[in-house]
Chains A and B, each alone.
Chain A
Amino acid sequence: MKTCLVVDDSSVIRKVARRILEGLEFQIVEAENGEDAIESCKRQLPDAILLDWNMPKMDGYDFLRVLRRLPGGDRPKVVFCTTENDVAHIARALHAGANEYIMKPFDKEIVEAKFQEVGLI
């Protein structure tokens, strides 16, 4: 079973994402911010990361830059999932090493399509 780290400061979003991704047969790990997510990745790298942008302590963009420098940190497929829905943010995320980008609000079909696009399902 593949693992997905869901990083979002909203417990509601984490709950919704968990329900969708468990339906796609992912094992879920949660983190509330970028710092906790880095600690989680240092313990065990997931196959996928669903990543919010705006979070306290460390935001998603900074998390991604740190992640990609970790040993093996290039392996997880990172899918941003954020309300930052403009082209400039999308371009920045891709430049920093994001594999896909979900603009909130989202639904199961969108998550499934994006995960399929990057070869996770």
Chain B
Amino acid sequence: MTPQDYDYLRRRLKERSGLVLSADKEYLVESRLLPVARKAGLTGLAELVHVVMSGHNEALMTAVVEAMTTNESFFFRDKIPFDNFRAVIMPALIAARRKTRAIRIWCAAASCGQEPYSLAMCLKEMEREIAGWRIELLATDLSNEVLEKARQGIYSQFEVQRGLPIQLLIKHFTQTGELWQLAPSIRAMVKYRQLNLLSDFFHLGTFDLIFCRNVLIYFDQETKSDVLGRLARIVASDGYLVLGAAETVVGLTDSFKIVPDKRGLYVPNTDWPKISRPTAGQRAPRLVAINGGSR
């Protein structure tokens, strides 16, 4: 791949997905895009860049973006966000939403589903407390390919062993050879949609909790600030934002405040000048009910 080809791909990836690749990541681009080129019947990366440049193959450009933005995930990644979900976030939301008995959660970078399904398994464990509540769990990702895998809920032996406690594995999964499929009852708790965080997401409505983990790290400062600012407008004033271990709002936006002693957990800054911030009463059209009291 020539330096010009690499620069072109970097520019297009930034435009399409916000992904920022430094000059030394050429090896990563080659390792991820060579299989894409082969699958498309092309001779190599030079031809792939040529076809993408022509602008006549949107499917190929989508495949390029998906190959470069697909990242490994695992169940209960980093553990602490899920401890906070059980011990801090859900108790607070249950107390605050006693009248509406409705909670909306958004996983903004769902990848292959491990994160939303980890939350769903936590919710399943607390079903007594939320019996009769309407809990919506929306999971989005840029990549249709990973969303399809997420919907199927089928994981390899390696994938189910990274972070998933063994008790939850035998409780919620069925085994077929070396593959494990999540129970339909847990899969049904999550609604998947394709969404690019660079595009407008105001139409999704207000959320009580947003998990936006391990995606901002791939953006430049300006894009991070932009996304955080727009997240602030759709999180309820008493809601929560959870970021990845290597991510922060510090120096990027004043719209969120750190929750002391709770790594990765943020709340909206009520002093932040709001531009028509939705309130908890303003709800988007309902996406999916997972706990309508039937269980």
Contact = CB atoms under 8 A, between A and B. Distances in A.
Interface string A102-115: 11001101100110
Nearest to B165: A117
Contacts of B161: 102-103, 106, 110, 113-114
A76 to B, nearest CB: 17
B16 interface: no
A94 B167 contact: yes
A103 B157 contact: yes
Nearest to A80: B166
Interface string B158-170: 1001110111011
Contacts of A1: none
Contact of B162 (A87, A100, A110): A110
Contacts of B169: 90
Contact of A113 (B162, B167, B178): B162
20 contacts: A85-B157, A85-B178, A86-B175, A87-B170, A87-B175, A90-B166, A90-B170, A91-B170, A94-B166, A94-B167, A100-B166, A102-B161, A103-B157, A110-B158, A110-B161, A110-B162, A113-B161, A113-B163, A114-B161, A116-B79
Interface string A85-99: 111001100100000
A105 B169 CA distance: 17
A97 to B, nearest CB: 13
Contacts of B74: 113
A101 interface: yes
Contacts of A106: 161
A103 to B, nearest CB: 5
Given A86-B175, A106-B161, 5 more contacts: A85-B178, A90-B166, A100-B165, A102-B161, A117-B79
A108 to B, nearest CB: 11
Interface of B: 74, 79, 157-158, 161-163, 165-167, 169-170, 175, 178
A109 B74 CA distance: 11
B166 A101 contact: yes
7 interchain residue pairs of minimum CB distance: A101-B166, A110-B161, A113-B163, A113-B162, A103-B157, A90-B170, A100-B166
B177 to A, nearest CB: 9
Q: Is the interface of A mostly helix, strand, loop or mixed?
A: helix
A116 B157 CA distance: 18
A118 to B, nearest CB: 9
A102 B169 CA distance: 12
Contacts of B165: 100, 117
Nearest to A103: B157
Contacts of A103: 157, 161
Nearest to A112: B162
Contacts of B178: 85
Q: Which of A101, A110, A113 has the most CB of B within 10 A?
A: A113
B4 to A, nearest CB: 38
A102 B157 CA distance: 10
Contacts of A109: 162
Contacts of A91: 170
A57 B69 CA distance: 51
A107 B74 CA distance: 14
A95 to B, nearest CB: 11
A114 B168 CA distance: 13
Nearest to B167: A94
A61 to B, nearest CB: 15
